[in-house]
Structure 1
């Protein structure tokens, strides 16, 4: 080991503080403090509240370092007002004479995946407080810690800016889709009788509409509605046997349903071998395909890489007529309906048949061509920016 680094035990350089466990009746719809649970920690924006006045160490303030240790895992620098943090979250108070808080955040972020291998519990996986406090931490001196933290923070700021730009770009593309294919106000040249980028909005300007019994609403004359599975090829994923070692740690990305929340998808936590693809029910799809998670919270994304996926994911392959940009926003606009069709109390889900039978609007080809000209460059710019973010982070980690 380099003399510039030394190992310390986390519990000797940082205090690990438990959050508070709550009874359901203590979680309110309104109150003085928001209660930060693991779901809120990552993506869930549905909050409970509390009016309880607790010991000061049961609150977290803006800038505090936290760590989720049950079901979902990882560190977070809290950005927001004073909240109460739940029992499944630790607050970490570093000894500032020994370890820099931001450096520790990035160190734990890097170590989280390896820590998950030490989880306990058959129903709800968790990391024990004893394990966390005894975790060896490889740290340089404080000057170098601060320098590393500064470099990584600057990169994170750049990535956050790029993510905001991407969100705005996706919102722009979504607005075009909704305006053209939900409100049916695509640009149309009535004199020439065809779509034109400089034309007037079709429906608002009196374009002819006809009743469609599948959608139970009017659609532009000449358009059709068919079942998605009749016009696009769909694939259900699968999981290679975990008992066969040669199936795993290969060079083919393999995705679980949780990873479909990324947009676009440009990496995977696990990889499998080509032999696993041949000898298991998993499916392989090329970059540009659309993926839909069909378990719990249904999400849709576009592959920025070639990848396989598990049985909680349905893949939809683009073709000459229907490109990923149109498929993606079509499925995205249908998520609420699909969510209402889920069954199963423990693991709410839909199946591939429901996806295949979903109504799919087939516009005229000229409208689609105009749409692709406007939206495909936006989608490609998003993918390129995410790839640059990922590449920069990988280089810095190395």
Structure 2
């Protein structure tokens, strides 16, 4: 059985069994849940683990004992797992030896014939078509015979290796971002637990010691004594507060099924918030109209940056911190809305509290229902927690906020990379894009695509008279770009476009097409942004937009985007914003000297205006 795919010239169609060993996993013991089979040193990968692996199995939820291994099989690292029941045709390549049950098929590639990563990418492309072959009635499933009937298109091994390398570099970065985010989450939770559960800084001071890893100014905010409270011993001066005294807790207004649309403003339920809480992208299944959204927002508000949504029916307690880019509404009853902080803005404190063992226990204690569990607004309001001083809240926020921002930036970058990978995948496997040799980055092609795709605010004006007399932000010149007319640049538009292409959710990857080859993806081209735009591309964009005589290099461009993004347009506010942005981009931040020199340069070429402590982007310059 072949699929209706364009097969490039020189490619062949083969069965999976022609390329290596194909066999079902083993789980011979009955009953399968016998306790003595589990809890040992041998990883036991199940269908859910494969589905969650995103192509590479890096973790598992169960292990086999020696007895478990004896009735199963330990498959080698590099085995491709293929699910054949429940989650159909999901695939993941083992990154370590592991066992799996007979609901998973293992493919061990003959390395002289195929690249297992290439074969896994073919499976991704064909997944929906394979799923259509599912034969189960109660629970969909496929079998070895189904796979044996399928013909897979493959090129020569050298071409397989090139395609797998290009797509694999994207997946490598996605998995690296995932691992970094796991570390960031652990760091945030460790700090929360130390400060607000174990009270380590207080206990250190009680012992006459300096709190570990804490500067003297922060340590001075913590008391030196624990006192009794209704929640046990807590630091002196801290309070036991009910959640309702810290925030408003509400639900959404009712949206009826007849109002659901296939496009518009996303409408989320518990399943979407659960996926977002895991750092996954979401493709909305339901929308409402823009008019209905605005009506609901005007009457009762809509989720905004810093709000928290909690899954409240069925799967309970998953939390999502709303981002500044989010625009959606949500289903009443399924989700609970934490908003309108009453004293201090403490979203990170509350997010970490909900994730902590203390928070999870509190949520567990207020669940109601047996068939389908739920939590209520009333019960949430009544939860009590240890509440520190405002100064400690502020210090915790300042410490944790960069971790959250980096976490969110990594998620956005991974989504962009996944979109690029999924765009390239069918093009590479159909021969629409060919990889020649090592792959050369055609920077000029990418620059031209970006300039055509985006509005950088560049316009030609033929007469000097078109410039208003005394207009703030114009540079008057004679010659081609002066009195005889010239090309003018709207600075706000230009910087907004620069912000777009240098941000984690930038569009560079979406339009780069076949210019995305191995040099970029392997990191051999210098990276300057939290997307995959090379330094040379960004420099050429700046030259094309602002002109050769007013060169704006990549670090100047990031500073301009910092000025654009900063809520506080003072020197201190912009200094803080650029430090955050460069940190997100994994670049060294500007020190005061470089910051000052860059601002003075940008002012000298007419892009910004420095007025005391305040910085403003100018309106327009003549490109020169």
TM-score, normalised relative to structure 2: 0.51
The equivalent position to 1:235 in structure 2, one of 240, 246, 251, is 251
* CA pair 211-31 structure 1, distance change in 2 beyond 3 A: closer
The equivalent position to 1:150 in structure 2, one of 165, 168, 176, is 165
Aligned length in residues? 384
Q: Distance in 2 between matches of 1:370 and 1:298?
A: 26
Matched, 1:17 2:23: yes
Q: Distance in 2 between matches of 1:177 and 1:359?
A: 17
Query: Which structure 2 residues correspond to residues 179-190 of structure 1 after superposition, within 5 A?
Result: 179-184=194-199
Matched, 1:352 2:364: no
Secondary structure, aligned partner of 2:178: helix
1:290–1:316 CA contact under 8 A, matched in 2: yes
Match of 1:300 in 2: 319
1:331 Cα deviation after fit:
0.7
Matched, 1:91 2:106: yes
Secondary structure, aligned partner of 1:24: coil
Structure having the larger proportion of residues in strand: 1
After superposition, the C-alpha distances for 1:56-100 in whole angstroms (9 at most, x for unaligned) are 9x542111000223334521111223x331122111245667643
The range that moved more, 351-360 or 157-166, is 351-360
1:257–1:313 CA contact under 8 A, matched in 2: no
Q: What is the root-mean-square deviation in Å for CA atoms of aligned residues?
A: 4.4
Match of 1:36 in 2: 45
Structure having the larger proportion of residues in helix: 2
The equivalent position to 1:316 in structure 2, one of 327, 334, 338, is 338
Q: Distance in 2 between matches of 1:131 and 1:302?
A: 43
Q: Which structure has the larger Rg? A: 2
1:371 Cα deviation after fit:
1.4
After superposition, the C-alpha distances for 1:101-133 in whole angstroms (9 at most, x for unaligned) are 101212323554676576566764545555544
The equivalent position to 1:225 in structure 2, one of 241, 244, 247, is 241
Match of 2:266 in 1: 252
The range that moved more, 361-370 or 62-71, is 361-370
Q: For structure 1, which runs of at least 5 residues remain unmatched after alignment?
A: 190-195
Q: Distance in 1 between matches of 2:238 and 2:69?
A: 64
Q: Distance in 1 between matches of 2:287 and 2:272?
A: 21
1:376 Cα deviation after fit:
0.7
Q: Distance in 1 between matches of 2:79 and 2:388?
A: 51
* CA pair 131-377 structure 1, distance change in 2 beyond 3 A: same
1:221 Cα deviation after fit:
1.8
Matched, 1:327 2:350: yes
* CA pair 273-34 structure 1, distance change in 2 beyond 3 A: closer
Query: Which structure 2 residues correspond to residues 132-143 of structure 1 after superposition, within 5 A?
Result: 132-135=147-150, 137-143=152-158
TM-score, normalised relative to structure 1: 0.75
Match of 1:193 in 2: none
1:265 Cα deviation after fit:
3.7
Query: Which structure 2 residues correspond to residues 156-305 of structure 1 after superposition, within 5 A?
Result: 156-184=171-199, 198-200=217-219, 206-207=224-225, 209-213=226-230, 215-228=231-244, 231-235=247-251, 241=257, 247-248=261-262, 252=266, 254=268, 256-257=270-271, 260=274, 263=277, 265=279, 267-275=281-289, 278=292, 285-294=303-312, 295-296=314-315, 298-304=317-323, 305=326
1:248–1:271 CA contact under 8 A, matched in 2: yes
